[in-house]
Amino acid sequence: MTETPAIRLTGLTKRFASLVAVNDISLTIQPGEVVALLGPNGAGKSTTIDLALGLSLPTSGTAELFGGDPRDAIVGGRVGAMLQGGALLPTMTVEQSIALIASLHRHPMTVKEAMERAGVADIARQRVASLSGGQMQRARFAVAVVSNPDLLILDEPTAAMDVGARHSFWGSMREFTSQGRTVVFATHYLDEADTFADRIVIMGAGRVIADGTPAEIKAVVSGRTLSFALDTVGDGFDRLPGVTQFEVRGSRVSLTTDDSDETLRAVLAEYPTAHDIEIVSRNMDDAFMALTAPVLEGTER
């Protein structure tokens, strides 16, 4: 691609005394991509975001937004950010907070549009100090998008939101990304990454340990899970064809198998009373654990 990358990180490293929070990361994100950053606590996701935004200076390496200094892109209104530590003035209303940020940019969207996108029109006149955790997240999102940015960076955007608010948030995000904007979001909700990201970058111990589409990431774990219920649970599940591991919880048995058809035939032959049978593909949780477990095991806690 000849287009200037929205984000380019080259050999990026950040040390805090003896702690290496980000370790020689090189990453390029093109305009229009929706990228999820995943990783266990302490993986370096938030530090990487801070470095990309120019909020923290790297020990070595460089960070560029749209081919230049991150601060230039931010001043130009091309970047919106919703960070975990982003504070709004407690005495201002939600609408006043959004209007204040809008006034700092050259070509913002209207305050009304920003409130509609973030779903905060109903709390526009509430003071920030009175907001719940989920409402505060939505208000922060409105502040992040009011500059009408080309790049939106979100750090745990749906933290503290209930299921309904999360659904509304991603519905708004779909509309935002359909216009060709670039979105990078860090999340602990693996289903969000699987559903909404074009690309997933998994970090561990300050490094990138996997980078690909959701399908490519999930492909690191093969097989399917076959589960069923038994009136009387016996044993011998590990001897069934194709089974690589099994788990018994009460009357329900779950088998991880490399050949679900062969395993199912054997289950029905060996356990004819098996019922409530389900077969599902391995999911993002399985891939995440497979990729991060070796890193965590090799990291001192």
pLDDT level of residue 300 (50, 70, 90 thresholds) = very low
| Whether residue 192 sits in one domain with residue 175 | yes
Instruction: Report residue 1's pLDDT band, with 50, 70 and 90 as the boundaries.
Output: very low
Q: Considering only 145-154, 157-166, 238-247, which range has the smallest mean pLDDT?
A: 157-166
Among 172, 198, 218, which residue terminates a domain? 218
Tell me what pLDDT residue 301 has.
34
Reading the block at residue 234, the tokens are: 């016996």
Tell me which residue of 301, 253, 250, 245 sits closest to 278, measured CA to CA. 253
- Stretch 50-71: mean pLDDT: 96
Nearest residue to 287 via CA among 36, 30, 45, 48: 36
Of 205, 209, 207, 241, nearest to 223 by C-alpha is 241
Q: Please tell me which residue, 90 or 223, carries the higher pLDDT value.
A: 90
Q: Count how many residues are written for the chain.
A: 301
Query: What confidence score (pLDDT) does residue 298 get?
Result: 62
Cβ-Cβ contacts under 8 Å for 271 (sequence gap 6 or more): 228, 230, 234
Number of domains in the chain: 2
Residues 229 and 209 in one domain: no
Does 179 lie in the same domain as 30? Answer: yes
In a domain, 299, yes or no: no
Do residue 131 and residue 271 come from a single domain? no
Q: Are residues 192 and 263 in the same domain?
A: no
CATH at 229: 3.30.70
Residues 271 and 147 in one domain: no
Looking at the structure, tell me whether residues 193 and 117 fall in a common domain. yes
Closest CA to 255 of 276, 270, 240: 240
Q: Is residue 293 part of a domain?
A: no
Q: Is residue 145 domain-shared with residue 232, that is, in the same domain?
A: no
| pTM as predicted | 0.83
Which range has the worst mean pLDDT, 39-53, 82-96, 238-252, 259-273?
82-96
Q: Which domain holds residue 84?
A: 7-218
pLDDT of 160 strictly over 90 = no
| Residue 36: per-residue pLDDT | 97
Question: Which backbone phi and psi does 164 adopt, to 5 degrees?
Answer: -65, -40
Q: What is the 3-state secondary structure (H, E, C) of 159-186?
A: CCCCHHHHHHHHHHHHHHHCCCCEEEEE
Is 287 part of any domain? Answer: no
pLDDT at 275: 96
Of 140, 149, 96, the residue nearest 118 (C-alpha): 140
Instruction: Check: CB of residue 25 under 8 Å from CB of residue 48.
Output: yes
Residue 50 in domain:
yes
144 plus 253 within the same structural domain: no
Over range 77-106, report the average pLDDT.
Answer: 91
CB within 8 Å of 125: residues ≥ 6 apart: 93, 94, 95
Q: How far is 80 from 82, CA to CA, in rounded Å?
A: 7
pLDDT in tens, 121-141: 999 999 999 999 999 999 999
Match 């050259």 to its residue by tokens: 106
Answer whether residue 292 is part of any domain.
no
Q: How many Cβ atoms sit within 10 Å of the Cβ of residue 284?
A: 21
Residue 2's pLDDT is 52
User: Does pLDDT of 76 surpass 60?
Assistant: yes
For range 186-193, the mean pLDDT: 92
Q: Is residue 286 part of a domain?
A: no
Mean pLDDT, the chain, as a whole number? 92
